[in-house]
Structure 1
Amino acid sequence: MTPIAPTLQAFFTERLARQCQASPRTIAAYRDAIRLLLGFVQQRTGTAPAKLDWNDLNADVISAFLNHLEDERGNSTRTRNVRLTAIRSLFSYAALQHPEHALLIQRVLDIPPKRFDKRTVTFLTGPEVDALLAAPDPKRWEGRRDKAMLTLAVQTGLRVTELTSLNCDDITLGEGAAVRCEGKGRKQRTVPLDRPVQNLLGAWLNERAGRRGDPLFCTRTGRRLSRDAVAQRLSTHAQAAARACPSLLDKSIHPHVLRHSCAMSLLQAGVDTTVIALWLGYAGVRSTDAYVHADMTIKGEGPGPDRYGHRPPGTLPTQRQGPRFPRPPVRGIQKLWIGPKLPSPGPSRVLILPACPSISTSTSRCPATSPPLRK
């Protein structure tokens, strides 16, 4: 028998904390996944976690645990895959420590992630955002805090973890007003603030009267708000806002919806997707594709014109908010046909040459009505 306790402790203290220098959030996520697994095995076999052997964590047990997450705990497929990632990381580390269990470990590592449906992102429209921000009671201390917090989330698109980790000194007011935060991958970014948000945050900071390292959004006792607390406050205000805006009843509103709403407002204002990716702290531009698919105003335009201003048959330009950059006129260009015309609807091959009084070539041909060019 080879107990898993020494390897499990070394995985967290040596591998994650010292070698990988993982963030506290990553370590906490891995800890929660392993804790759920050990609790499931103890409930199923009656063996305490300190006495578990590697043979007690074979591929069948891991598969049963993943099914338990979805069927009994009601977790989504994404959550199931996140738990599997933590388990595979543990077993990858154990493969180097216990080669005598190579076959068992390899079978666990061969468990694939589960595919899931990629739905269209949920976001709030302008009237829905206004109704949500008007829901907190300005006469109560919690209402003024929640209004400043929700307004900041909608305008900056911060993740809920980034929002709850803000300190009082992360806000800069006045000229060059912005908020500094640390996102995924320990990447720090700065997001500008407009005038209404500055006024709200300035009033809240004066009322908060906190020191530089104190949490920006806290409870009455001064403790930092948790992610669950933010979700609960948002759900409460969404129910109150639904009385004035009934369309909110058809949407499942959680903190990440505010992030989606910020991205959609930027996209509909004509902001480039590269800027949106930088604004939201994404690793690449491809992460913004979900917002392009969700924007019906872009889909309603249909295919755009080509470089010469021609549109495909049956498509008409539509009006859309946002800046439009005029295309430069094409001047001094002469088109010469090469070879026979391709069958419709395929385009013909075109050679683009600068306009010139005399063209000397032995392979270029004019349109079918003109004779071949000669020297």
Structure 2
Amino acid sequence: MKLSTCIRTFFSHYLFEVKNSSLLTVKSYKETFKIFFSFAAQYLGVKIGRIELEDLSTDLILSFLEYLEDERENSIRTRNQRLAVLKSFAKMIRLKYPEHRDIADRILNIPQKRAVKSLAGFLSHDEIIQVFDSVNLSKKDGFRDHAILRLMYDSGARAGEVGNLELDSMDSRESLLYILGKGGAYRRVQIWPRTVQIIEHYVKNHRLTPSALFSKYLFINQRREKLTRQGIYKICKKYISLVLPENRLKQLEPAHCFRHSCAVHMLMDGKPLSHIKNHLGHENINSTMIYLKLDLSRKKEVHKGFIEYTRKTLVNSPDIDDLIDWDNKDEVLKWMDNL
């Protein structure tokens, strides 16, 4: 049986009709098979179109996984993610082509590789304040970037989730944010009133007019489209790099460290793990348990002062409005030249 026949069923029917996978998941799966097909054709010495389902031997899969680590220098985590895609494909084979169950089972029996689990890299209170203060509000998109950073820390949302936020995702009156997370599941999180004010100020005064297709989205880029996950990653990396030394940056994932920092903040605030789990949208409580391994005893003493900072920093004073009014930039520059 041609492998291409199974692949068409996998992408055209199984992922969408059976599993209701997201477009982002499908895109990731396609990337895995693109790499796998190229390797398998070379390994088997045939053209891609001639690969048979029966060619999916244990030796082929294991050689592919070794190739990912040795040649492509993928991490064990990435290697395991690629294997998970192949296992999802194997589950489809068992369901749609039960006569080839033995092929599916040999793939499903390949174990995940154990990897060293690193501690969650999070920002201290002082570092969070430095990152917030590093945003130049007088620059174009400065206030948008400031709003994104504050929202990511407060909500603990993933970069992709922030990019997908819509104008009606926030309930200003109740200070609630509705986030569309993994698996198409919504979650409702409580955010600080100050964060609500910052978002409202951004929408009213600094949000670019988007193109028609992206009019419903909250955060807009220079192309007048919604900000992508990669765009938000770059924003986070930009401001973290301004305030942290190189050796510290190596310990952090620029966008995800805000999510970890939110969890640590909630833990120090005495929130139960179940509350943190729901706030972050973890599917399994084990994902939330990693924060219990952190030594936070020395950091609790500065926690109260940080809360006061995050809730009392003003954003809507007339002085700030004048400073960040980009439409008046020529007048401001002329005034500076005359100093």
SS in 2 for 1:151: helix
Question: What is the CA–CA distance in structure 1 between the aligned matches of 2:281 and 2:98, rounded to whole Å?
Answer: 41
Question: What is the CA–CA distance in structure 1 between the aligned matches of 2:7 and 2:177, rounded to whole Å?
Answer: 39
What is the 5 A alignment of 1:287-298?
A: 287-297=287-297
Going from structure 1 to structure 2, the CA distance change for 1:293 and 1:37 (only over 3 Å counts) comes to same
Aligned residues of 1:171 and 1:178 also touching (Cα < 8 A): yes
Question: What is the CA–CA distance in structure 2 between the aligned matches of 1:68 and 1:240, rounded to whole Å?
Answer: 37
Question: What is the CA–CA distance in structure 2 between the aligned matches of 1:179 and 1:98, rounded to whole Å?
Answer: 43
- Is 2:161 the partner of 1:159? no
Question: What is the CA–CA distance in structure 2 between the aligned matches of 1:183 and 1:100, rounded to whole Å?
Answer: 36
SS in 1 for 2:141: helix
Task: Quote the offset at 1:276 in angstroms.
Answer: 1.3
Aligned residues of 1:238 and 1:248 also touching (Cα < 8 A): no
Q: Which residue of 1 aligns with 2:196?
A: 198
Task: Quote the offset at 1:124 in angstroms.
Answer: 0.6
Task: Quote the offset at 1:201 in angstroms.
Answer: 0.8
Question: What is the CA–CA distance in structure 2 between the aligned matches of 1:184 and 1:57, rounded to whole Å?
Answer: 30
What is the 5 A alignment of 1:227-266?
A: 227-242=229-244, 248-249=248-249, 251-266=251-266
Task: Quote the offset at 1:74 in angstroms.
Answer: 2.4
Task: Quote the offset at 1:96 in angstroms.
Answer: 5.0
Task: Quote the offset at 1:73 in angstroms.
Answer: 2.2
Going from structure 1 to structure 2, the CA distance change for 1:95 and 1:190 (only over 3 Å counts) comes to closer
Looking at secondary structure, tell me which structure has more helix per residue: 2
Aligned residues of 2:2 and 2:52 also touching (Cα < 8 A): yes
Task: Quote the offset at 1:210 in angstroms.
Answer: 5.0
Task: Quote the offset at 1:11 in angstroms.
Answer: 1.3
Structure 1's unaligned 5+ residue stretches are: 301-317, 323-375
Q: Which amino acid aligns with 1:150?
A: L
Question: What is the CA–CA distance in structure 2 between the aligned matches of 1:235 and 1:320, rounded to whole Å?
Answer: 25
1:218 to 220, 245, 269: 220
Aligned residues of 1:270 and 1:321 also touching (Cα < 8 A): no
Aligned residues of 2:122 and 2:252 also touching (Cα < 8 A): no
Aligned residues of 1:133 and 1:151 also touching (Cα < 8 A): yes
Going from structure 1 to structure 2, the CA distance change for 1:178 and 1:97 (only over 3 Å counts) comes to closer
Question: What is the CA–CA distance in structure 2 between the aligned matches of 1:280 and 1:233, rounded to whole Å?
Answer: 21
SS in 2 for 1:90: helix
Which deviates further from its counterpart, 27-36 or 208-217?
208-217
CA radius of gyration, larger in: 1
Question: What is the CA–CA distance in structure 1 between the aligned matches of 2:18 and 2:196, rounded to whole Å?
Answer: 42
For each residue in 1:309-361, what CA deviation from the matched residue of structure 2 results, as whole angstroms up to 9, or x when unmatched? xxxxxxxxx98978xxxxxxxxxxxxxxxxxxxxxxxxxxxxxxxxxxxxxxx
Q: Which amino acid aligns with 2:227?
A: L
Aligned residues of 1:263 and 1:291 also touching (Cα < 8 A): yes
Question: What is the CA–CA distance in structure 2 between the aligned matches of 1:185 and 1:3, rounded to whole Å?
Answer: 31
Aligned residues of 1:168 and 1:210 also touching (Cα < 8 A): no
Task: Quote the offset at 1:77 in angstroms.
Answer: 1.5
Q: Which residue of 2 aligns with 1:132?
A: 131
Going from structure 1 to structure 2, the CA distance change for 1:320 and 1:127 (only over 3 Å counts) comes to closer
Going from structure 1 to structure 2, the CA distance change for 1:115 and 1:251 (only over 3 Å counts) comes to closer
Q: CA RMSD in A?
A: 2.7
SS in 1 for 2:150: helix
TM-score (norm 1): 0.72
Aligned residue pair count:
300
Going from structure 1 to structure 2, the CA distance change for 1:67 and 1:240 (only over 3 Å counts) comes to same
Task: Quote the offset at 1:235 in angstroms.
Answer: 1.6
Q: Percent identity?
A: 27
Aligned residues of 2:152 and 2:258 also touching (Cα < 8 A): yes
Higher relative contact order (CA 8 A, sep 6+): 2
Q: Which residue of 2 aligns with 1:171?
A: 170
For each residue in 1:156-204, what CA deviation from the matched residue of structure 2 results, as whole angstroms up to 9, or x when unmatched? 100112111111221232x212221111232211222223212221121
Question: What is the CA–CA distance in structure 2 between the aligned matches of 1:255 and 1:268, rounded to whole Å?
Answer: 21
Going from structure 1 to structure 2, the CA distance change for 1:210 and 1:272 (only over 3 Å counts) comes to farther
Q: Which residue of 2 aligns with 1:341?
A: none
Question: What is the CA–CA distance in structure 2 between the aligned matches of 1:135 and 1:43, rounded to whole Å?
Answer: 50
Going from structure 1 to structure 2, the CA distance change for 1:45 and 1:232 (only over 3 Å counts) comes to farther
Question: What is the CA–CA distance in structure 2 between the aligned matches of 1:204 and 1:47, rounded to whole Å?
Answer: 56
For each residue in 1:278-304, what CA deviation from the matched residue of structure 2 results, as whole angstroms up to 9, or x when unmatched? 211223444321111113329x9xxxx
Q: Which amino acid aligns with 2:158?
A: R
Task: Quote the offset at 1:259 in angstroms.
Answer: 0.3
Question: What is the CA–CA distance in structure 2 between the aligned matches of 1:203 and 1:99, rounded to whole Å?
Answer: 58
Aligned residues of 1:169 and 1:213 also touching (Cα < 8 A): no
Aligned residues of 1:134 and 1:241 also touching (Cα < 8 A): no
What is the 5 A alignment of 1:21-100?
A: 21-45=20-44, 47-98=46-97
- Is 2:18 the partner of 1:19? yes
TM-score (norm 2): 0.79
Q: Which amino acid aligns with 2:232?
A: V
What is the 5 A alignment of 1:313-352?
A: none
